Amino acid sequence: MFGRFAALVALVLLGDAAITGAPQAPSSETSATRQGSAPRSPRNASYAITARLDPGSRTITGDEILTWRNTSNTTASTLRFHLYYNAWRNSDSTWLRELALTGRPADEPQGSDWGWIDVTTIRIIGADSAAGDLTTRMRFIAPDDGNAADRTVMEVPLDRAVGPGETVNVQIAWSARVPRPFARTGAIDSFYFLGQWFPKIGVLENSGWNCHQFHATTEFFADFGTYDVRLTVPRGWIVGATGTERDRRDEADGTTTHHYSEEDVHDFAWTTSPDFVERRARFEHSTLPPVEIRLLLQPEHTGQADRHFEAARAALKYYGEWFGPYPYGHLTIVDPAWQSNADGMEYPTLITAGTAWLMPGHTEDPEDVTVHEAGHQFWYGIVATNEFEDAWMDEGINTFASARVMQERFAPTYMIRWYFGGFVPWVFRDFPRIRELDGDRLTTYRTGAKGDAPSTPSWRYWPGTSGSITYDKTALWMHTLERMLGWETLQRILSTYFSRFAFKHPKPKDFFDVANEVSGQDLTWFFDQVYRSSNVFDYGVDALQSEVERFEGFGDKQASGAPHVELRQAQYRTRVVVRRFGEGIFPVDIRVVFENKEETRWHWDGKDRWQMFEIDKPVRAAHAEVDPEHVLLLDVRSTNNSMTLTPQSGRAARKWSLAWLIWLQDQLLTYGFFV
Amino acid sequence: MSPAAAFREGLRRVNGAPALLAGTFAVTVMVSLPLAYALHGMIAAHLDASLAADAAASGTNPEWWREFLAQATGLGATFVPSITGFGAVLNNLTGFLDHTRPAATIIGVTAAWMVLWTFLTGGVLDRLARARRTRSQGFFAACGMHFWRLLRLGLFALIAYAILFGYVHGWIFDEAYGALTRNVTAGRTAFAIRLAGYAIFGTILLLCNVILDYARIRMIVEDRRSAMGALVAGGRFVGRRTTMVLGVYALNALAFLVLIILYAVVAPGAPRSGFTMWLALGLGELYILGRHYLKLLFYASQTALFQGALAHAAYTAAPVPVWPDSPAAEMIGNADSTESL
C-alpha cells in the first residue's frame, strides 16, 4: 500500500523529470515490461538511473531513484548501500588491504588509477523536504572488519522505519571517478567497462541487513528488480548494457543518451567505447526460447566472432537442456580491450569474454571464458545466491557445469603457452586439456586444498587460496557427485534446484535438501566432508604382495616331530594394504587385477587409517588400485592410488629425463651466446 | 673478403674439423647428463611402483605430471610440459630475451658449462684460425695458453652483459615498454612496441656481442695477452668494417633461423615409447648437434673475415707452448746455480 502511494507521490513530484533528464521512479511494470507476463522475481529493488560519462575527467555523474520494498519480516530503521567504487579510493580500503594478502601487489593502483564514488544527496521521495533529505545523516560503516577507513558500505538512518511489505522511494545523486580497471570494472583509454558503478542497496533479510563491505576475493549480492537506465556518452561511442536498448537520443552537446531497461535482474552493468565492432547472431533450439546474441568485439579480434557465438550457443543449449531455459531473450557479450582486466565477468544479460590477438584454434579461450560467463546467467543471474557468503554456489557449480559443456562441445582443446612478452602462442597438441585437471581445476585445488572449509563465509576465506575453495573444490566435489550418483541423477538435482530457486536467493541448505530429496539418499555425510570441513582426501595402496603360499611349522596331522616347510604351488596369496593418508573420509573400491586379467574387488568404507585385503588365487596379482574408477576427484595424490608388481617407473623416468636433456642442452647453447 | 666468402670459408673450416664438432657436442652432453640422471631419479622415485608409470612410459600422463610438479622443487620444477618438442626452444629463447631467471640449479650448470666453454674457446679458435688439424696436444695447449686471458676478457663480458640485462633490459621492457603501453588497448599495438624493444635491445646486444667476439678472435689469432687491448682491437675492427662484420653476423643469424624453423617443423613433441622415443631423442640431439655446428660456424666465419681483412689468411704460425720444466729439472737447475755461487 505504502509502496503504491510512494510511487504515486514520486511521480507527482517528479512530473517534470522526463523533461529535465532526471530519472523517474521505476515501477514493477515499466513501459518496457513484457506484455502481459507476470514478474518472475519479487522486483523489490528497482532503479531508474540517469548517468553521464565524461571521458575527459573519467567521471560519471548520476541520479537514481530506487524503489525498494521490504520483503523481510523485520523492520528497516536504516538503509544500507554498497559504494563499491570506494574500494579503490585509497590504500586503506578493505579491498586493497586484502589484495595485499593475495601476493598480487602489482594489481594495486598507481598514479591516476584511483577511483571513488561520492553520494552528493540522498532523500526520501514523498516525505517533506526537511525530513526527506538524509544527506547529512550518511555514514560509512564496516560491518565485516571494523575498518573505519573503508567506505564501501553507507548507512542512512530513517525517520520513518520501513515495515515488512512497505515500499520506500529514495532519490540519490552521486558522482564517481572511474578507476583504472580493478575487479573487472574501470576504464583504460577509451574503453569503459562499468560494473558496480552506482549506489546499490543491500539485501534486507529476516536477520537484518546483508550488506557486506567490498572484499578482494568475493563478489556481490543484491535483490531483483527492474532497471530503467539512461546513459549519456560521447556521440559515436557504442554502448552495451544489461537489458536491451529501448531508444537513443542525440543531445545538443555532442553526446548521445542510450536508454536501456531490463526486468527481473539484480544488477546493471554497461560498457562503452568508440572502438567496438558489433556483430549479432541468434540462438535457436527446438525446445528452448530463442536468444539474440550481441557481440561487441575489439577490432583486432573480428576474426574470432564465430568462436564467441558458438561458445555462447553451447552454453545456452547445454545449460538450457540440463538446468532450465534462459528467459531473457538476449545476451550481450563484450570482448574487453587488451590489458583492461575486464575479461571473464558476469552481469545479468551482459558478460565479458576474453581472448588474444593471435589466439589459435582448439585452445581454452575464448570458448571457455564465454561458456563460463554465459553459464553464470543461470548460476548467479537467475539462481541469485549470495556471492559474499556462499561464492561456491555460483562459481563452483558454474565451473563444474562449464567444464562439462567444454567437454561436450569443444573437446579436444590443448595446452597453450605464450612467449615473447606473452604475445606469441604455441599449442602443445600432446597435452589435451582434461576436464578434471583443467576444467574442474584439480591442479590449482592442490595448492590451496586446506585453505578454508567451504562453509566459512566466502569473504572470510584466506585471500590467497580462496579460488581453490570457491571454484576448484566445488567443481571437483560436484564432479565426484556426478560419478557417485550418475549424471542423470545429478542433472535432475540441478534442474530441480534451478527451477525451485530461480529468481530467489537460495542458501547452501536449500541445495543440500534438494540433493537429498532428488537422489533419494541422505548425502549429509558427503556434504560434511566436502563442505563443512577442510579435510584433504588421499587414499593409496601401501603394499601389494602376491606370492606362492608358503606353509611352515607343524601340520594338523603332524603335531610331533620336526616342523616342515611346504610351498603350496597351486595358490598365490595376494595381500593388498590400502591406507587413508589424508583426513578426509570417503568410501572407496579396491581392485586387484591378476596376470590372467581376472579381477577381484572389495569395498572399503575408508574410515580406518588402513585396511588389508587378502585373497588366494592360482594366479599372481599384476596390480592393485584403490578407487579404480577415480570417483573421488578430490584425491590430491592419485599416483599412489595404484601399485604394480612390474613397475615401469624406470622406463618412464628414462624417457622423460632424456626429453628434458634436450631442453637443458638447448638452454646451455642459448646462454652460449655469451661465450 | 666479402661476408659471403667469409661465411663459405667458415663452412669449409668447420666441415674440416669434425672432431671439434664432436668434442664440443660431447662436452655439452657430459655436462648435462648428470643433471638428467638426477631428474631421472626424481621421476622414478615419484612414480615408484604406480600404474601411472605405465601411462607416462607409453605416452603422456598429465595427471601424474602435474602431481609431480606440485611437489617438485629446484631441478624437478624445471620439468614442465612445455619443455617437450619445439617448446624447449621457445622456452629458452623467450627466457633469454625476456630475461626470465632460470632455476638456481640450471644457473649453476650453465655457469659451469660457460667456464668450460671459455677454456675450450682458445683451442677452438686456434684450430679454426689455422684451418688444419692441431691434434689434441696442440688443441689443449692452446686451450691452456689462452684460458686465463679469455677468462679476463670474460670478466669484461660479464660486466657488459650484466649492465645490459640488469639495467638496459629493465629500462626497455619494464619502464619504457610499461609507459608506452600503459594506455594501449590493442594487443597487436603492444606487440609491435615490444618488437621495437627487442630490436633496440637486440642491436645493443649484437654490438656488444660482436665486439667481444672479435676481441676473442684477435686475442687468439694475434696472441694478445691483454684483455683490454683485445677488446679495444676488437672494437676497432668492428668499427672500421661494420658492414662486413654485420654481413657475416646476419648470415650466421639466418643459418640459426633456418635451423630453428627446421626443428620447429620436425620436432616430434612429447615422446612416446619404443622406436618413436628414440627417434625423438635422435632428432633432438641432431638439433643440438646443429646448434654446435652453428656456434663453430659463427667462430669460423668471423675468424675467416678477420684473417681475410687483415691479411692473415695464411696465418700458420705453429703454437709454441712453453712448458715449465719438470720439478726435477728445475731442482737440478737450482742446484747448478747454487754450486756456481
CA distance B139 to chain A (A): 18
User: Is residue A675 one of the residues assigned to a domain?
Assistant: no
- Which string of DSSP letters, residue by residue, matches A70-120? --SSS-EEEEEEE-GGGGGSSTTSHHHHHHHHTT-GGGS--GGG--EEEEE
B43 close to A657: Cβ distance less than 8 angstroms: yes
CB within 8 Å: A640 and B102? no
Give which of A435, A445, A671, A673 to mutate to test B binding, by max B Cβ within 10 Å.
Answer: A671
Contacts A641 to B, Cβ<8 Å: 50
Q: Which three cell numbers stand for residue B25?
A: 657436442
* Each residue's pLDDT tens digit, A115-174: 999 999 999 998 666 668 999 999 999 999 999 999 999 999 999 999 999 999 999 999
User: Is residue A266 one of the residues assigned to a domain?
Assistant: no
Which carries the bigger pLDDT value, residue B268 or residue A635?
A: A635
State whether residue A530 is helix, strand or coil: helix
CA distance B326 to chain A (A): 33
**Has residue B211 got a pLDDT over 80?**
yes
Which carries the bigger pLDDT value, residue B308 or residue B259?
A: B259
CB within 8 Å: B84 and A647? no
pLDDT above 70 covers a percentage of chain A that reads 91
- Residues B333 and B176: their CA atoms lie apart, in Å, by 66
User: Is residue A624 one of the residues assigned to a domain?
Assistant: yes
Mark whether A546 and A582 lie in a shared domain. yes
Contacts B88 to A, Cβ<8 Å: 662-663, 666
Mark whether A524 and A411 lie in a shared domain. yes
Position A557 confidence tier, pLDDT thresholds 50, 70, 90: low
Give which of A428, A666, A673 to mutate to test B binding, by max B Cβ within 10 Å.
Answer: A666
Please, what is the average pLDDT of chain B? 92
**Has residue B341 got a pLDDT over 50?**
no
Residues 6+ apart with CB under 8 A from A393: A379, A383, A385, A386, A506, A508, A511
Q: Across the beta sheet with A610-617, what order do the strands follow?
A: A539-553, A564-580, A610-617
Instruction: Tell me which chain B residue has its CA closest to the CA of residue A420.
Output: B94
**Has residue A12 got a pLDDT over 80?**
no
A435 close to A404: Cβ distance less than 8 angstroms: yes
pLDDT at A33: 47
CB within 8 Å: A648 and B93? no
Mark whether A484 and A505 lie in a shared domain. yes
pLDDT at B338: 53
The domain spanning residue A436 has which CATH number?
Answer: 1.10.390.10
Contacts B275 to A, Cβ<8 Å: none
In eight-state DSSP terms, residue A408 is I
User: Is residue A306 one of the residues assigned to a domain?
Assistant: no
* Each residue's pLDDT tens digit, A624-650: 999 999 999 999 999 999 999 999 999
Of B43, B50, B154, the CB nearest to A656: B43
* Each residue's pLDDT tens digit, A529-544: 999 999 999 999 999 9
Q: Which three cell numbers stand for residue A124?
A: 526520501
The domain spanning residue A602 has which CATH number?
Answer: 2.60.40.10
Q: How far apart are the first and last CA of chain B?
A: 59
- Residues B154 and B114: their CA atoms lie apart, in Å, by 10
> At which residue does the C-alpha cell 579503490 appear?
A88
Contacts B99 to A, Cβ<8 Å: none
pLDDT at A106: 55
CB within 8 Å: A434 and B281? no
Q: Which three cell numbers stand for residue A199?
A: 549506489
pLDDT at B1: 82
User: Domain residues for A569?
Assistant: 539-555+563-652
pLDDT above 90 covers a percentage of chain A that reads 86
Mark whether A521 and A630 lie in a shared domain. no
- Is the ipTM reported for this complex over the cut 0.90? yes
Mark whether A422 and A521 lie in a shared domain. yes
* Section B276-284 average pLDDT: 92
pLDDT at A536: 97
- Residues A126 and A470: their CA atoms lie apart, in Å, by 44
Which of A89, A197, A108 lies closest to A151, judged by CA? A89
Please, what is the average pLDDT of chain A? 92
State whether residue A390 is helix, strand or coil: coil
pLDDT at B328: 74
pLDDT at A18: 37
**Has residue A30 got a pLDDT over 90?**
no
Number of domains in chain A: 2
CB within 8 Å: B285 and A656? no
- Provide the total of helices (H) and of strands (E) in chain B, helices listed first: 14, 0
* Each residue's pLDDT tens digit, A286-309: 999 999 999 999 999 999 999 999
CB within 8 Å: B79 and A656? yes
pLDDT at A108: 67
Mark whether A519 and A613 lie in a shared domain. no
One-letter identity of residue B289: L
pLDDT at A3: 39
pTM: predicted TM-score of the whole model, two decimal places = 0.91
**Has residue B324 got a pLDDT over 70?**
no
CB within 8 Å: A659 and B83? yes
CB within 8 Å: B92 and A663? yes
Dihedral angle sign, alpha carbons of residues B106, B108, B110, B116: negative
CA distances from A598 to A168, A526, A602, B31, B263 (A): 73, 32, 14, 48, 46
User: Is residue A489 one of the residues assigned to a domain?
Assistant: yes
* Each residue's pLDDT tens digit, A439-482: 989 999 999 999 999 999 999 999 989 999 999 999 999 999 99
Which of A488, A410, A520, A482 lies closest to A629, judged by CA? A482
Mark whether A415 and A517 lie in a shared domain. yes
CB-count exposure of residue B12 (10 Å: 0-12, 13-18, 19+): middle
Q: Which three cell numbers stand for residue A188?
A: 583504460
Q: Which three cell numbers stand for residue B29?
A: 652432453
* Each residue's pLDDT tens digit, A178-210: 999 988 899 999 999 999 999 999 999 999 999
Contacts B82 to A, Cβ<8 Å: 415, 417, 426, 428
* Each residue's pLDDT tens digit, B23-68: 999 999 999 999 999 999 999 999 999 999 999 999 999 999 999 9
* Each residue's pLDDT tens digit, A235-285: 999 999 999 999 999 999 999 999 999 999 999 999 999 999 999 999 999
User: Is residue A592 one of the residues assigned to a domain?
Assistant: yes
β-pairing, A330-334 with A291-297? Answer: parallel
Position A36 confidence tier, pLDDT thresholds 50, 70, 90: very low
pLDDT above 70 covers a percentage of chain B that reads 94
* Section A43-69 average pLDDT: 97
Residue/partner pairs of B177-184 with CB below 8 Å, 24 or more apart: B177/A421, B181/A339, B183/A188, B183/A189, B184/A189, B184/A338, B184/A339
- The 10 Å Cβ neighbour count of residue A560 is 5
Which of A461, A348, A341 lies closest to A396, judged by CA? A461
- Residues A541 and B47: their CA atoms lie apart, in Å, by 13
Contacts B54 to A, Cβ<8 Å: 644, 648, 652
CB within 8 Å: B51 and A357? no
Position A344 confidence tier, pLDDT thresholds 50, 70, 90: very high
Report angle CA A95, A97, A98 to the nearest 5 degrees: 65
State whether residue A218 is helix, strand or coil: coil
Q: How far apart are the first and last CA of chain A?
A: 86
User: Is residue A37 one of the residues assigned to a domain?
Assistant: no
pLDDT at B335: 73
Mark whether A547 and A516 lie in a shared domain. no
User: Is residue A672 one of the residues assigned to a domain?
Assistant: no
Mark whether A607 and A568 lie in a shared domain. yes
Contacts B63 to A, Cβ<8 Å: 434, 436-437, 442, 638
